[in-house]
Amino acid sequence: MQGVDTFLQNNKNWASKLKTEDPTYFALMAESQQPELLWIGCSDSRVPAEIVVGAKPGEMFIHRNIANQVIATDFNCLSVIQYAVNVLKVKHIVVCGHYNCGGVRAALSKQNSGLLITNKWLMHIKNVYRLYQEKIDAMPTEDLRVNKLVELNIVEQVHALSHTSIIQESWTKHNSPTLHGWVYDLSDGLINTLITINPDDEIHPIYQYIADES
């Protein structure tokens, strides 16, 4: 296991290598960012967003939390979404979860008395389980039940994203961004698509945003 000093040295080596290859690299990077994509992923250390898709610095705007959730009262996540959509004008937003997610596995169990704050966060995933309990419980093993909930949670988070006024207003004004739900497989490093919602796709009427016409 690497210590903190090792990471600092790795940083120096990385910066030195890039400056050797392109002396203007950091000067240009410091001027602005123009990412095409916002990534909403899990905090799991095994799923580093840029690495698994081969992205370079500046190509992705990133938000991560336990089990890649989009919650209507999470102002941290909503602020990231608003900045990405309204200021950076991203064309795509990806919600990417992963199989064998520890947060999802914990949500399938009783609440842990030692994790009072985390319990509250996981309650949203428990709600997804309750919506699809019959389908999830039909899976023959615990691992398959976890992975089915992983997939369903990703789909629900993409829908939750589409229900925000931020996204719907941007769809109306700019016909963008497109929303994607992806799942990453830790066992082979591959990403699979679960859902795509385009700006002109219909969403349930009770979630539709009525714009202020004044």
Q: Which of 63, 77, 96, 101 is catalytic?
A: 101
Residue 101 is among the residues annotated as catalytic for this protein: yes
Residue 96 is among the residues annotated as catalytic for this protein: no
Q: Which of 46, 174, 185, 201 is catalytic?
A: 46
Q: Which of 42, 77, 96, 180 is catalytic?
A: 42
Q: Which of 98, 124, 159, 180 is catalytic?
A: 98
Residue 46 is among the residues annotated as catalytic for this protein: yes
Residue 174 is among the residues annotated as catalytic for this protein: no
Residue 98 is among the residues annotated as catalytic for this protein: yes
Dist. CA 73–CA 27, nearest whole Å: 37
3-state secondary structure the chain: CCCHHHHHHHHHHHHHHHHHHCCCHHHHHHHCCCCCEEEEEECCCCCCHHHHHCCCCCCEEEEEECCCCCCCCCHHHHHHHHHHHHHCCCCEEEEEEECCCHHHHHHCCCCCCCCHHHHHHHHHHHHHHHHCHHHHHCCCCHHHHHHHHHHHHHHHHHHHHHCCHHHHHHHHHHCCCEEEEEEECCCCCCEEEEEEECCCCCCCHHHCCCCCCC
Catalytic residues: 42, 44, 46, 98, 101
